[in-house]
Structure 1
Amino acid sequence: MTARYPGYPFTSRWFAHACGLRQHYLDEGGGAPLLFVHGNPSWSYLWRRPILALRDDFRCIAPDHIGMGLSDKPAADRYPYTLAARVADLDALTGHLIAHHGAPPHGWTLVMHDWGGPIGMAWACRHPERVARLVILNTAAFPSPHGRRVRPPLRLPLWVLRETRLGDWLFRRNAFARGATWRPLGVRRRMPAAVRAAFLAPYDRPEHRLAIQRFVHDIPLRPDDPAWPVLRATGKALERFAGRPAFIGWGLRDPVFDPAMLAEWRRRLPGARTVVYPRAGHYVLEDAHEHLVPALRAFLRETS
Structure 2
Amino acid sequence: MPGHIPRLPGYPFASRWFSRDGLRQHYLDEGDGAPVLMLHGNPSWSYLWRRLIEALRGEHRCVAPDHIGMGLSDKPGQDRYPHTLASRVDDLDALTAHLIADRAAPDRGWTLVMHDWGGPIGMAWAGRHPGRVARLVVLNSAAFPNPHGPRVRPALRLPLWLLRETRLGERLFLRHHAFARLATLPPFGVRNRLSSDVRAAFLAPDDRRGHRVAVQRFVHDIPLGPGDRSWPLLLRAGESLAAFADRPVLIGWGLRDPVFDPLMLREWRRRLPRAQIHAFRDAGHYVLEDAHDRLVPAIRAFLRH
| TM-score, normalisation: structure 1 | 0.98
Query: Residue 283 of structure 1 aligns with which residue?
Result: 286
2:29 to 10, 27, 30: 27
SS at match of 1:7: coil
1:224 matched to 2:227? The reply is yes
The alpha-carbon deviation at position 237 of structure 1 amounts to 1.9
- Structure 1 residues 168-207: Cα deviation after superposition (integer angstroms, max 9, x where no partner): 1100210000000000000000000000000000000111
1:202 matched to 2:205? The reply is yes
- Please tell me whether the aligned partners of residues 222 and 230 of structure 2 are also in contact (alpha carbons under 8 angstroms): yes
**AA partner of residue 135 (structure 1):** V
Query: Residue 179 of structure 1 aligns with which residue?
Result: 182
Query: Residue 154 of structure 1 aligns with which residue?
Result: 156
1:119 matched to 2:145? The reply is no
In structure 2, distance between residues paired with 1:48 and 1:289: 11
Q: Structure 1 residues 2 and 191 mapped into 2: Cα distance closer, same or farther (>3 Å)?
A: farther
The worse-fitting range, judged by mean Cα deviation, of 239-248 and 146-155 is: 146-155
SS at match of 1:50: helix
In structure 2, distance between residues paired with 1:80 and 1:279: 37
Query: Residue 50 of structure 1 aligns with which residue?
Result: 52
Count of residue pairs the alignment pairs up: 301
Query: Residue 12 of structure 1 aligns with which residue?
Result: 15
The alpha-carbon deviation at position 75 of structure 1 amounts to 1.1
SS at match of 1:249: strand
1:248 to 248, 251, 263: 251
SS at match of 1:128: coil
In structure 2, distance between residues paired with 1:108 and 1:3: 29
Q: Structure 1 residues 210 and 198 mapped into 2: Cα distance closer, same or farther (>3 Å)?
A: same
- Structure 1 residues 97-150: Cα deviation after superposition (integer angstroms, max 9, x where no partner): 000000000000000000000000100000000000000000000000011111
- Structure 1 residues 49-102: Cα deviation after superposition (integer angstroms, max 9, x where no partner): 000000000000000000000000011111000000000000000000000000
1:36 to 35, 38, 43: 38
**AA partner of residue 91 (structure 1):** D
1:190 matched to 2:203? The reply is no
Structure 2: runs of 5 or more not aligned: none
1:79 to 78, 81, 89: 81
In structure 2, distance between residues paired with 1:242 and 1:293: 23
- Please tell me whether the aligned partners of residues 5 and 14 of structure 2 are also in contact (alpha carbons under 8 angstroms): no
The alpha-carbon deviation at position 3 of structure 1 amounts to 4.7
The alpha-carbon deviation at position 29 of structure 1 amounts to 0.1
Query: Residue 235 of structure 1 aligns with which residue?
Result: 238
Structure 1: runs of 5 or more not aligned: none
SS at match of 2:131: helix
1:64 to 54, 63, 66: 66
**AA partner of residue 233 (structure 1):** R
Q: What percentage of aligned pairs have identical amino acids?
A: 72
SS at match of 1:71: coil
1:267 to 270, 285, 297: 270
**AA partner of residue 180 (structure 2):** A
SS at match of 1:213: helix
**AA partner of residue 51 (structure 2):** R
The alpha-carbon deviation at position 4 of structure 1 amounts to 2.0
Query: Residue 100 of structure 1 aligns with which residue?
Result: 102
The alpha-carbon deviation at position 297 of structure 1 amounts to 0.5
| TM-score, normalisation: structure 2 | 0.98
SS at match of 1:129: coil
**AA partner of residue 242 (structure 1):** A
**AA partner of residue 242 (structure 2):** E
- Please tell me whether the aligned partners of residues 144 and 237 of structure 2 are also in contact (alpha carbons under 8 angstroms): yes
